Structure 1
Amino acid sequence: MTNSEKEHTSTNPEAARLQSNAAREIPLPLWGPYLSERQWGTVREDYSPYGTAWDYFPHDHARSRTYRWGEDGIAGISDYNQLLCFAFAFWNEQDPIIKERLFGLNNAEGNHGEDVKELYYYLDNLPSHYYMQYLYKYPQRAYPYDDLVKTNQARNALQPEYEILDTGIFDNRQYFDILITYAKFQDTDIAIELSITNRYDQPATLYVLPTLWFRNQWSFDPEAPRPRIFLDDAAKQHRIVCQHPRLKSYGFYFPETEEIFFTENETNTQRLFQYPNPQPFVKDAFHEALIHGRYRQEISQRLEGTKCSPVYRLQMNAGECRKLYFRLCADDTPPQGDPPDTRALQALFTQRKAEADTFYRQWLPDNADPELAAILRQAFAGLLWNKQFYHYDVPLWLDGDPLQPPPPPQRKQGRNHNWRHLNNHDVLSMPDKWEYPWYAAWDLAFHCVAMALVDPVFAKHQLILITREWYMHPNGQIPAYEWNFSDVNPPVQAWAALQIYRIERSIHGEGDLDFLKRIFQKLMLNFTWWVNRKDAAGNNIFEGGFLGLDNISVFDRAQMHPEGGLLEQADGTSWMGMFALNMMEIALEIARYDRAFEDVATKFYEHFVYIAESLNSLELWNEADGFFYDVLSLPDGKKIPLRVRSIVGLTALFATSVLNLEQLKELRDFHKRVRWFRHYRQKSNLYLPEERTGDQGLMLLSLVQRDRLIRLLRYVLDENEFLSPGGIRSISQYHRDHPFCLTIDGQTHCVDYEPGESTTRLFGGNSNWRGPVWMPINYLLIDALINDYLFYGDTLQVEFPTGSGKLINLKQVAGELARRLIGLFRNQGEQGRKIFGPHAPFYSLPENQHLLLFHEYFHGDTGQGLGASHQTGWTALIALLIQRFGWDET
C-alpha cells in the first residue's frame, strides 16, 4: 500500500474495509444482501417434464413450498453460503396472504411478460455492506393480486402494462413507508433498524414479522445436518439462538413482544399435493396462524424450529413514525455494549451513514450538483443490493436428489442437459433480483465495469468467475443465462476487463496485471470457440444468433434459418472485431512488462484486420444506404440484405483503439510484424483498417474508417432516426412510417419502430429491442466516440443534431449523448423525472421526491423507464457517465 493509500484509508473507513477484503481469497463480506427477491418461477426450481418453470413453481406455491436451490424475501440478508436467512414479513389485516415476498406476474400473465408489481427502492449501500438502506411501500388496503393479473391478461400488446400505481391502491397516501436499514458493528454483528411511517390521514394497523430461517438442505441431501432455531430462556435479553453445524452460532436480539412464532421450513404437502403433512408446523404456518387463526397457539408455544418470527402488532396514528431495533450477532463475536441498547444502535447507524457519505464523497467535485450526486449514489446502491447467492448444480438438477422423487426422463435431453460440468455456488451480481434473479453473461460484464469504481477487487473477481471451469463450457463457451446456457451473448468480457483495469489504475495509480493475465488466458479459449463455432463459411463473417438483442431482427436469429440460408450478421462480425481488438490491447498492455505476450498481440492485431476487411469488403456494408446490415445468404447464392437501420448496423462503431507508435517501438517484435503486415497489404491493395497521424505519432484501429464513420453518425445524430431526447434508440424511428418486410417460406415478417414495449412475442414476452434506449449500448457508443476523438481531435466535426448546422467534435458529441441519458433521471420541475412517465405525480409527493428507479431500458420517445424496474446492473453505468460528464454541467 502506498503512503497516499494509507492516508486515504485512515480517513475513509470503508476504503480500509475494502483493502482488508481484497486480501481474502473470496473478496466478499460474510453477510450481505445475498437473498433473492424471487426464487419461485426460476429454472433451478423447475422439475417439470418440458421446462415450464413459471407453471411448475408459481407465486401461489412460494409461501408453502420449500425451495431447493435458494431463498427469497423482502430486503433480506444472508451469509454468503445462504445457510441462515433474515428478512421482514408484513400484514395489514386486509391482505389474503402475509407479505413475505414481492409479487409479480409470470410470463403468461402479462401483456408484456414477467413484471414485478411492487414499490420498493434501493436507497443506499456500501460495498462491504456495513451500511444498507431499503424502502418498501406497503398498501393499507387489500393488495390487488387478482386485479393485477386479470387486467394485465385482458390487455393486448398495444396497450401499456397495468402497474401497481394504476390500481389506485396507493391513492390518498394510504400506505406505510417501511424503511429498513442495516449497519454492522463488524461483519458478524449486524444492527437492524425498522422505521415505519403511516402516510395516511387515518389510524392503521400493521403486523411486523422479522423472520429468521435456515435454507432447507436436509430434505434433499442425506448428509446435510438439520439446524435449529430456539428461544434462549436463560438469557436476560430477548434472544433467539440460531445454530448450524456449518455456520457459527448466532444470537438474534429483539424488543419485547407477546408472541414468538416457531415452525419448520418444510413443504405444506397437504395444501399443495393433498398428501398429509407429518406435522402442522410447515413453511406457511405463520400465514395460516395470522390469516386463518390455525395453530396460532401451538406455534406461539413452540420453543424451537427452523423458521422463527417475533410478532409485533403496531397500531399507528395518522402520520406516526415507529421504530424497532434488532441485532444479529455471532456468539463468538462479543457484542459491543448491551445488545438491546437502542442508543448504541442509533449511534452506530449515525456513524455508518457518515462513513458512507465519506466513501461516496471521494467521487464528487467540490461544487457537485446534489441531485447528480444522489443519482450516482442510488445507482451504486442498486448495483450493490443486487448481489445474490446463486446455487445451481446442473448434474444434480438433471439426475435428481437422493431424498426426492427422480426428475421426469424428458429433462435428460431437455434444457441445459449439455452443461453437466456447470456447478455454481457463488454470490453474483444479478441484473435484477426479481425479474432476472440469475446471472447473464453480457449483463455481468457491464455490472463489473460499473462496480469497478466502488469495488474493483469484487469486479475483477466476478469477471474471472464467469470464465472459471465450473462456469465456462469445456469447449470455451461462456454460459449465457439459466434459461438456455447455450444461447450466445455478445463477447464483451475483454472490453470489460480493459475498462476495469483502467478504472482501477486511475484510482490506485497502477493496474492489476495479474488480473489481465488471468482473464486473457480464459478469453483466449472463448475467442477460439467463437472462431470455430460461429464462422460457418470461414470468411470472418460471424453468425452469433440473437446476440442478446432478442427481437431486433425481422425473424428470430437464434432459431430460424429461412429456406436453408445462412444469416451473416453485421453485429456478430462487429462484436468479434471488437473482441479481437480488445484482446490485442490487453496483450500489448501485458507485453510492456512481459515480452512473451508480444506475438499473441500480433495474432489478435492480424485477426482484427481480417475481420475488418470482411465486414467492409463483403455484402454487409450497403454503399447506397451508408449502413451495415445483416445479410441472408441463400443456398442458390442469392444475398438479401435485411435493411433495418438498427443497433445491429451501429455495433461496428464500438471497435476502436488508438495506439502510440513511439511506445510500440519498445515492443520490437510487435512493431516489426505490424510494419511488415501493413506494407504487405498496401502493396497487395488489400483492406487496412487504420489511420495514422504524422505529427502526433498515433495510429487509429477501427472497424469504421473516417468516411463511413461520418455517414453512420448522420443517422445516429439525426432526431428523425436514432437520436432521442434520452439517448440513442435501438432502431431508427425511420421505420415508424417505413417498416421493413421480408417474405420467406411463404410468410411475411416485418420490423417497424416500437419505442416502448414490443407488440411481438418473437422472443418471449419481454423482447424490446425495436426502438427503446438501452444504457449499455449507449455507453459503448460514448466510449468509442471518446476513443475516436483521441485520434481525430477537432479535425473531425459533425452536425449535432444532424441538419442543425451546428458542428462539434466527437468528444462533445459523447458529452451531449451522456447528458441526454443523465437527463432521464434528472428532475424536470413540474414534469418530474422522465423515467416515471405517467406516474410522475406520485413521485412529486414530498416523501417520494428523492426516489429513483433504474430500469432495464427507456421509451424511445418519452424516456419513460420500462422493463425490469430495478435492473441497476447495467443501468448503473449512468453513475460512470455522471462521473465522466455530469459535473461539466455545474
Structure 2
Amino acid sequence: MTEEQKRLLDSNWKKYGPYVSNREWGLVREDYSADGDAWDFTNYFSAESYAYRWGEEGICGICDDKQLLVFSVGFWNKNDQIIKERLFGLTNSQGNHGEDVKEYYYYLDNTPTHSYMKMLYKYPQNAFPYEDLINKNAAAGKENPEYELIDTGIFDQNEYFDIFIEYVKNSPEDILIKLTVTNKANTKASLVLLPTLWFRNTWSWGYDDYKPQLSLDKENQIKINHKDLNLKNLYSDTAAEALFCDNETNQKKIYHQANTSKYCKDGINDYLLNKSESSINPEKIGTKVAFKIDENFEALETKVFEFRLCNEDFEKPFEDFEKLFKTRQNEADEFYQDIQKGIENEDEKLVQRQAFAGLLWSKQFYHYNVEKWLEGDPSQVRPPESRKKIRNYDWKNLDGLNIISMPDKWEYPWFATWDLAFHAVSFALIDSDFAKHQLKLLTLDWFMHPNGQLPAYEWNFSDVNPPVHAYAAFRVFKIDETLNHKPDLEFLEAIFQKLLMNFTWWVNKKDFNGNNIFEGGFLGLDNIGVFDRNQKLPDGESLEQADGTSWMAMFALNMMRIAMELALYNKVYEDMATKFFEHFLSIAKALDNMGENNFSLWDEQDEFFYDALSLKDGSGLFLRLRTIVGLIPMFAIEVIDDEMLEKLPKFKERMQWVLDNKPELAALVSHWEVKGEDSKHLLSLLRGHRLKRLLFRMLDEKEFLGEFGIRALSKEYEDQPFHINLNGKDFCVKYLPAESDSFMFGGNSNWRGPIWFPINFLIIESLQRFFFYYSPDFKVEYPTNSGNYYNLDEIATSLGNRLKSIFLKGEDGKRVFNRQYPRFQEDPDFRDYILFYEYFHGDTGRGVGASHQTGWTAIVAKLLQPRLSQSKFDKEELESPRNI
C-alpha cells in the first residue's frame, strides 16, 4: 500500500482541498434579480466588489470542506486596469457560441487526498485584452470559431509569465504553498503577486452574526482566528506588505448606497490601482488579507515564493520546506506508478495523469439552499414576488452544502447529475470511496425530489438527463470490489433503494401515453433532434423517443443486475430482479409495438431506430434523421451465465415462466435460449441482425465513423441537410462537425456532428458486452464497405484507440485536440499540457466547447487503463468486459 493509499483511510486528509470555484459570478444561486437574468446580475467586472452569498471564487484556490476560509492567488502586471483575482470569460450572450473562458491554465497533478497538487497559469505582461475579446466575439457570428486569447497576439513575443502553483500537505492542516514564476520574455518585466486569504461571508445574512478575524501578528505572518477552524497562521518567506480589508460588498460602488463596512472587498484593489490609502485598514485587521509582493524579473528569470498555511506556531516555518515537497512529490509518483501498472507508453501515462489531475482539481464546495434563495435572507432586502416562480421553485427540498465533482469549474461550476455518473467511473480508479459518495449524494433527501426525480443541474433542476445513475453505481461497485477485495453491499443496497424511487418517477412522469415509450426533452442530447424536444407539440401529438425508451431499457437492466447481485447475499432481492426483468421485456415490446397500429421505432425500410411522432389516430410518423439517438438501443444489454442463474433459483424459475408463457416477449430479447459462449444468455434490445444493421451505419465513414470516434450525426447531412415540414413549419438539420450555428439552448449546446466522449465510451462498453456473449467468430465489416471484417472486441479496441489519439502525440509529435493552433502543437511551453474539452470536431478531432470539461472527458483515463488480461484482478472481473 502506497503512502497516498494509507492517507485515503483517514478522511481528515480531505478537509482542505481545491474546492474553490473558478467562477461564482453569473450563477443561478447568486442571482437575486427579479427576472432571473443570472448572467447580468453579477458579472466579471463587478465581482471584485461583490460579497457572494453562496460561495467563493479564485485562481488555483483552496479551502476547507465548509469553505469558511479560502486561500487563492491574485496577480497584477501593472498594466491591467483590474487585479487578476479570477479567470475571465464571456457570458452566454457575449460568446458567439455561448459562455467561454478566455484564459490559459492547466491542471498538471493532484492526488486524491490533495497531499500534492500542481497547476499552471499563464499570465500576460501587457494589459489583458478584455474589450478586444468581447468585441471580436460579438462580431464573429455563429458561422465562425471563437476568438481566443491567443488570437489577440498577446503571447506573440512571449511577453507572459508562467506561474506554477503547487500545494503540499505536511499534515491535514499544515499546507505548504510554492509559486514558481518565470518571465518568458526576452525583456525585463514586473509582477505583483497577491497571495490572498479571506473568510467566506457567513455573517451578513441574518442567521449568525459571528465575524472571524485575520490580523498581522508580526512581519510576514498573518494570524487566523475562527471559532470553527484550527488553522492559526499564514507565513510568507518573502518580505511583504500585508494589506487588509473586509469581505463585504462595496454598496456605494455597485448600488450607489451607503457602505456598511469602511474597508470593502475591493479595498486592496483600490489601494493598488488608485493608491487609495483609505480603502485598506491601517489597524492591520479584517476578514480579507493579501501579501503584496512586488517583484522585478530579468529576461527569462525564474523566482520561487513560499508560503505556509498551518495550525501551529513555527519559529522557522520554511526550514523543512524543500524536504517535505520532495517527499510528497515522490509519494504522488509512487501512487500513480501503482495505478498505471501495465501502461508502457510514457505519453499515455502523462495524458492519464493529467486527466486525473483535472478531475481532482474540479472538486468544488457547493452551497445552495433553494428555499432560502427563493425567500431571501432575514437581514437582506426581501426579493420581489416574481422570484417565487422564477426557476427551481418546486425544489425547495434541495439544500446542498457538499464537496461535489463539477463538469468544469468555470463554464459549469455546478453539478450535473448525468455528468457526475461518468466522473464517478473515472474517480473509482483512484478513489472509489469518493466515487461512491458522489453517486449516493444525489439520491439523498436533500437532493432528490420527494417525487423521486434526481436534480439535473442548477439552471433547471427539473430538466431530464439520461438515467445512467444505476449504470454508474454498479460499475463503481464492481471496480471498488476488485480494488478492495470485498463488495460494499451497504453502498449498493442503499443506492438501489433510492433508485427504485427514481425508476418509478420515470415510469409515472415520462411515459406520456402509458405505452412504455419514454419522452423527456434533452436526455443529454440537447439540439440533436429536428426541433426543441422540450417543447409541447400541437394537436395532441407527442414525441416518442428512441433514446428515451432505450435509456429506460438500460436502466431496467442495470437495476435487474444490481438486484441479482444483492440477491446473492439476501434472497429478498430475487423478486426485485424479476420485476426489472419483466419491465425490460415490456419496454422491448413497446419499441416494436407502439400505438394502436403497432408502430415500431425500428424502421424496417432504413433498418435504423428513429424518433417518431405519435399522432392522434394512434399511428406514428418517423423522423428519419440518423443521429446517435438511433444507436442508444445498443446500451440496453446484459449477459447472464448459467452459474449466476443457478445461484438464484427463484429468479430463474420466474424468468423461465415468462419466457415460456409469453413467447412474443421472448422473441424480442435476442433468443434467450440460444446460449452464447460458456453458457451465457443475452438480454438486449437488439437481435443479431439488428445489431449488424446498426453497426453497418455506425461504422460507415460516410455516416457516423470519424477518424477520431463516432459522430453524433450522420455526415450524410453535410451536403444534403435533412428537411421536414410539420404542421406547416419547415425544419432543417445539417451536419455541423463542431460549433453550433443556432442559438437553440443558448447556442453552445451542439451535438449535430461532434464526437462526444460519454456516448463513445458507452458504445465501446456495449460492443465489449456483445462480444462477451457472441463468439469471436461473430464479425462485421469495419469500416463499412472496406472488405475487412473484425470481431466486436477488436472493433471496440479500435474505437478506443481513435478516441485516445485525440490526446496522444501522433507520429508527427502533435496532439489532435490542439489542431487549430500550431503554437500549441510546437511550443514546448504548451505542447504537453492537456486540455480535455467538452466535445470534439467530428472530422478533425480538435477540441470544442468548454476547454476544461475534464469531468466526463476524463473517461479517457479509463480507456487508457490496461485491459484485465494484463493486470492483477480477479477471475470474475477477468471474464467480464466491464473491467477496470
Distance 1:887 1:263 in 2: 59
Deviation, 1:686, is 5.8
Which has the higher mean CA deviation after the structures are superposed, 103-112 or 224-233?
Answer: 224-233
User: Residue 674 in 1 paired to residue 655 in 2?
Assistant: yes
Distance 2:412 2:232 in 1: 31
Distance 2:484 2:671 in 1: 32
Which of 678, 687, 697 aligns to 1:696? It is 678
After superposition, where does 1:281-296 map in structure 2 within 5 Å? 281-295=263-277
Partner of 1:489: 465
Task: Answer yes or no: is the 8 Å Cα contact 2:547–2:629 preserved in 1.
Answer: yes
After superposition, where does 1:420-819 map in structure 2 within 5 Å? 420-618=396-594, 619-682=600-663, 687-691=668-672, 692-693=674-675, 696-819=678-801
Which has the higher mean CA deviation after the structures are superposed, 272-281 or 593-602?
Answer: 272-281
Distance 1:829 1:295 in 2: 58
Which has the higher mean CA deviation after the structures are superposed, 145-154 or 542-551?
Answer: 542-551
Partner AA of 2:497 in structure 1: Q
User: Residue 51 in 1 paired to residue 36 in 2?
Assistant: yes
Which 4+ residue blocks in structure 1 deviate beyond 3 angstroms?
A: 683-691, 884-888
Which of 284, 292, 312 aligns to 2:293? It is 312
Deviation, 1:546, is 1.4
Partner of 2:316: 338
Deviation, 1:279, is 4.6
Partner of 2:175: 190
Deviation, 1:301, is 3.2
Secondary structure of the residue aligned to 2:177 is: strand
5+ residue gaps in structure 2? 595-599, 871-884
Residue deviations 1:36-74, cap 9 Å, x none? 000000000001112110011111110111100000000
User: Residue 75 in 1 paired to residue 63 in 2?
Assistant: no
Distance 1:467 1:18 in 2: 24
Task: Answer yes or no: is the 8 Å Cα contact 2:737–2:841 preserved in 1.
Answer: yes
Secondary structure of the residue aligned to 2:168 is: strand
Deviation, 1:511, is 2.2
| Identity fraction in percent | 50
Which of 358, 361, 386 aligns to 2:337? It is 361
User: Residue 122 in 1 paired to residue 107 in 2?
Assistant: yes
Which of 172, 185, 188 aligns to 2:157? It is 172
Task: Answer yes or no: is the 8 Å Cα contact 1:543–1:568 preserved in 2.
Answer: yes
Deviation, 1:503, is 1.1
Distance 1:624 1:615 in 2: 16
Partner of 1:17: 7
Which of 234, 237, 251 aligns to 1:269? It is 251
Change (3 A) 1:366 1:581: closer
Distance 1:746 1:280 in 2: 63
Deviation, 1:472, is 0.2
User: Residue 373 in 1 paired to residue 349 in 2?
Assistant: yes
Task: Answer yes or no: is the 8 Å Cα contact 1:843–1:851 preserved in 2.
Answer: no
Partner AA of 2:559 in structure 1: M
Change (3 A) 1:689 1:609: farther
Residue deviations 1:533-584, cap 9 Å, x none? 0112111100111111110111110123244310000000000000000000
Deviation, 1:689, is 4.2
5+ residue gaps in structure 1? 1-8
Secondary structure of the residue aligned to 1:580 is: helix
Which of 89, 97, 100 aligns to 2:82? It is 97
Distance 1:67 1:544 in 2: 34
Task: Answer yes or no: is the 8 Å Cα contact 1:74–1:87 preserved in 2.
Answer: yes
After superposition, where does 1:389-408 map in structure 2 within 5 Å? 389-408=365-384
Task: Answer yes or no: is the 8 Å Cα contact 2:676–2:773 preserved in 1.
Answer: no
Change (3 A) 1:694 1:85: closer
Task: Answer yes or no: is the 8 Å Cα contact 1:854–1:876 preserved in 2.
Answer: yes
Deviation, 1:108, is 0.5
- CA-atom RMSD, angstroms? 1.7
Distance 1:457 1:74 in 2: 27
Deviation, 1:657, is 1.0
Partner AA of 2:295 in structure 1: L
Task: Answer yes or no: is the 8 Å Cα contact 2:669–2:686 preserved in 1.
Answer: no
Change (3 A) 1:535 1:184: same
Deviation, 1:887, is 11
Task: Answer yes or no: is the 8 Å Cα contact 2:170–2:324 preserved in 1.
Answer: yes
Distance 1:565 1:684 in 2: 28
Partner of 1:3: none
Which of 209, 229, 252 aligns to 2:234? It is 252
Residue deviations 1:200-230, cap 9 Å, x none? 1101000000000000111113424101100
Distance 2:750 2:466 in 1: 17
Task: Answer yes or no: is the 8 Å Cα contact 1:563–1:745 preserved in 2.
Answer: no
Deviation, 1:798, is 0.8
User: Residue 201 in 1 paired to residue 186 in 2?
Assistant: yes
Partner of 1:238: 220
Change (3 A) 1:212 1:564: same
Which has the higher mean CA deviation after the structures are superposed, 571-580 or 51-60?
Answer: 51-60
Change (3 A) 1:685 1:524: closer
Partner AA of 2:707 in structure 1: P
Secondary structure of the residue aligned to 1:231 is: strand
Residue deviations 1:811-846, cap 9 Å, x none? 111100000000000122547211012213234212
Residue deviations 1:93-112, cap 9 Å, x none? 11110000000000000110
Partner AA of 1:447 in structure 2: H
Secondary structure of the residue aligned to 1:272 is: helix
Distance 1:565 1:330 in 2: 65
Partner AA of 2:222 in structure 1: I
Distance 1:717 1:302 in 2: 70
Partner AA of 2:822 in structure 1: A
Residue deviations 1:473-507, cap 9 Å, x none? 00000000010000000000000011101111221
Q: Aligned pair count? A: 864
Task: Answer yes or no: is the 8 Å Cα contact 1:47–1:408 preserved in 2.
Answer: no
Deviation, 1:295, is 2.0
Secondary structure of the residue aligned to 1:362 is: helix
Deviation, 1:257, is 2.5
Deviation, 1:621, is 0.6
Partner AA of 1:818 in structure 2: G
Partner of 1:5: none
Residue deviations 1:444-493, cap 9 Å, x none? 11101110000000000010000000000000000000100000000000
Residue deviations 1:19-39, cap 9 Å, x none? 233xx8xxx711000000000
Which has the higher mean CA deviation after the structures are superposed, 715-724 or 822-831?
Answer: 822-831
Task: Answer yes or no: is the 8 Å Cα contact 2:676–2:774 preserved in 1.
Answer: no
Deviation, 1:358, is 0.7
Partner of 1:323: 304
Which of 280, 289, 299 aligns to 2:280? It is 299
Change (3 A) 1:560 1:766: farther
Partner of 2:877: none
Task: Answer yes or no: is the 8 Å Cα contact 1:365–1:887 preserved in 2.
Answer: no
Which has the higher mean CA deviation after the structures are superposed, 50-59 or 366-375?
Answer: 366-375
Distance 1:15 1:750 in 2: 54
User: Residue 161 in 1 paired to residue 146 in 2?
Assistant: yes
Deviation, 1:617, is 3.8
Distance 2:534 2:806 in 1: 32
Which of 127, 132, 150 aligns to 1:142? It is 127
Distance 1:264 1:843 in 2: 44
Partner AA of 1:289 in structure 2: Y
Task: Answer yes or no: is the 8 Å Cα contact 2:362–2:409 preserved in 1.
Answer: yes
Which has the higher mean CA deviation after the structures are superposed, 476-485 or 794-803?
Answer: 794-803
Distance 1:690 1:617 in 2: 18
Task: Answer yes or no: is the 8 Å Cα contact 2:90–2:102 preserved in 1.
Answer: yes
